[in-house]
Structure 1
Amino acid sequence: MTSSTTARRAALRRFAAAAAAVASFSPLLSTQAAEPQVLRVSAIPDEAPTELQRKFKPLGEYLSQATGMKVVFTPVTDYAAVVESLATRKLDLAWLGGFTYVQARIRTGGTAIPLVQREEDARFTSRFITADPTIQGLADLKGKTFAFGAPSSTSGSLMPRYFLQQAGVQPERDFKTVAYSGAHDATVAFVAAGKAQAGVLNASVWDKLVETKKVDPSKVRVFATTPPYFDYNWTVRGDLDPAVVQKIKAAFLALDPAKPEHKAILELQRASRFIATEPRNYDGIEDAAKTAGLLK
């Protein structure tokens, strides 16, 4: 055997040993380089995007600590986008209104899971508002201009429309014009600016706007309130890892107003606490949507 052959074989052995070492080390490298698991979250755009981001930031940090996942909040342009993103697995968790949840349940073939709701959402209401002194009750709305929120909003459109119909008022027949502001705070702006003689929004946003002095209740006033109904919830896509689902649910249920750091999160969500919810709570919303002609 020549010295050159011996050298080549020695070189090959060294190469093979190095390759084996790299192969045994590569899983560790890939594990260390792997991105943390991400929880993709969004919400129906019932308020300005900046306000949604502000409200979610502390909650997102809390959920990240509770689940061990990176939490990313992505605002969307409209209600339908949230439903479609859940159905196409672009979102894992979403803050939905009652009607939006019903739409998501239908769109996902019944797989979307409502996890928790604020205690307040079990008896939610909408407020009818006006700056017109001639409007004192729902019957006075006939012949007037009126603003709903977004077409798919439970508290800004569906349930107020349903209760108007129960009171014998058909919006498209009885109102002079019907407008959709797109969001609850925008509805207040419409009425305050005289773009609509009356409008409707959810009670929680109205109370917040009054508390923060973003509306003057001596100029824009509440003249009627709906009966209570189930509304908002946090919903997960149905094929999300069950272990992750349980972590998310447990995290919400563990929020304790007696703890200062939790109280701050709850106050931003305008919640006294979160409670478990289930699909049947929203059957009444589905029935109302069918009655109002918004679902077949």
Structure 2
Amino acid sequence: MKNFLRLTLAVATLMFAGLTHAQQVLRVSAIPDEAPTELQRKFKPLGSYLEQKLGMKVEFVPVTDYAASVEGLVNNKLDMVWFGGFTFVQASVRSNGKVIPLVQRAEDEEFKSVFITTDKSINRLEDLKGKTFAFGSESSTSGHLMPRYFLLAANINPDSDMKRVAFSGAHDATVAAVGGGRVDAGVLNISVWEKLLSQGKVASTLRVFHTTPGYYDYNWSVRSDMDPALRKKISDAFLALNPNDAQGKEILALQRASRFIPTRTENYASIEKAARNAGLLK
């Protein structure tokens, strides 16, 4: 009996050691709503900061598309993901509610999308009828779901009222498609638009002709089975970011955030409703 107890204790110790070792790396990813090089650039200072605060290695794991970010978190291949509102809802539904949104930028309480064009005949949403148009990714909140929701509310069905609808795959790609004349108009999130404007990467002929009302969008999410102590450390690290110190200022600027605030699943109920109404959530 003593030998059995010793063996059981040894196995349990080895299992615990294995779990402890596995938790030495926090695997982080983000929906690919911008170019991969830009996502890596934005994450690098944040990753270093989280390593300091958590006392563990933080690794950025790029994914090929929005669906991969959902599957990666749900299937335990990722520990934390930067989701758009719609991809968070998809992950929550896919995992039967086992994904928790931790924090969001203050800006994500009232996020917006902008409709852009170079066509002088387009000045309101109704003018998009009969035109060619580009959304971002099919799973994008600000590049597809909410713009589609607002178009339908304005009695414009993109699938029947527009000449052709394309999906660029990313916000910056939408700007390139519209600016390059491949489509008459497009829509993207206001944050990327303002960043590209500030960097001088927007052609002078491109303009915003419509801005949507605000809605909840991006957040950092984790699985519900994450160690609660680690979850709190991560949340506290984001909430502690301060624009008045050099490190915090750099990270917040790259994340296009004034600060991070707590969030909760209930904030995304309207996005889930919009997705179901649009037939985008099965």
**TM-score under structure 2 length normalisation:** 0.92
- 1:78 alignment counterpart: 65
Tell me the CA shift for residue 255 of structure 1: 0.3
Tell me the CA shift for residue 261 of structure 1: 1.3
- 2:182 alignment counterpart: 195
Query: Aligned partners of 2:62, 2:169: CA distance in 1, in Å?
Result: 15
Where structure 2 has 5 or more consecutive residues not aligned to the other structure, the ranges are: 1-13
Q: Of the candidates 184, 207, 216, which is equivalent to residue 230 of structure 1?
A: 216
Q: Of the candidates 58, 77, 90, which is equivalent to residue 103 of structure 1?
A: 90
Query: Aligned partners of 1:125, 1:174: CA distance in 2, in Å?
Result: 23
- 2:260 alignment counterpart: 274
Q: Of the candidates 39, 49, 52, which is equivalent to residue 62 of structure 1?
A: 49
- 1:91 alignment counterpart: 78
The answer to whether the 8 A contact 1:36-1:70 is kept is: no
Query: Aligned partners of 1:279, 1:36: CA distance in 2, in Å?
Result: 25
Tell me the CA shift for residue 35 of structure 1: 8.0
Aligned-residue RMSD, C-alpha: 1.4
The answer to whether the 8 A contact 1:118-1:271 is kept is: yes
The amino acid that maps onto 1:126 is S
For 1:107-256, list aligned pairs within 5 A: 107-216=94-203, 218-256=204-242
Tell me the CA shift for residue 36 of structure 1: 7.5
Displacement over 6 Å in runs of 4+: none
- Structure number with bigger Rg: 1
- Residue 32 of structure 2 aligns to a residue whose secondary structure is coil
Where structure 1 has 5 or more consecutive residues not aligned to the other structure, the ranges are: 1-26
- Residue 91 of structure 1 aligns to a residue whose secondary structure is coil
**TM-score under structure 1 length normalisation:** 0.88
Between the two proteins, the alignment pairs up a number of residues equal to: 265
The amino acid that maps onto 1:284 is S
Tell me the CA shift for residue 100 of structure 1: 0.2
The answer to whether the 8 A contact 1:79-1:152 is kept is: yes
Q: Deviations over 1:46-66 (max 9, x none)?
A: 000000000000000000100
Query: Aligned partners of 1:75, 1:131: CA distance in 2, in Å?
Result: 33
Evaluate the alpha carbon distance shift between residue 152 and residue 113 of structure 1 in structure 2; reply closer, same or farther with a 3 A threshold: same
Asked whether 1:257 is paired with 2:240, we answer no
The amino acid that maps onto 1:183 is A
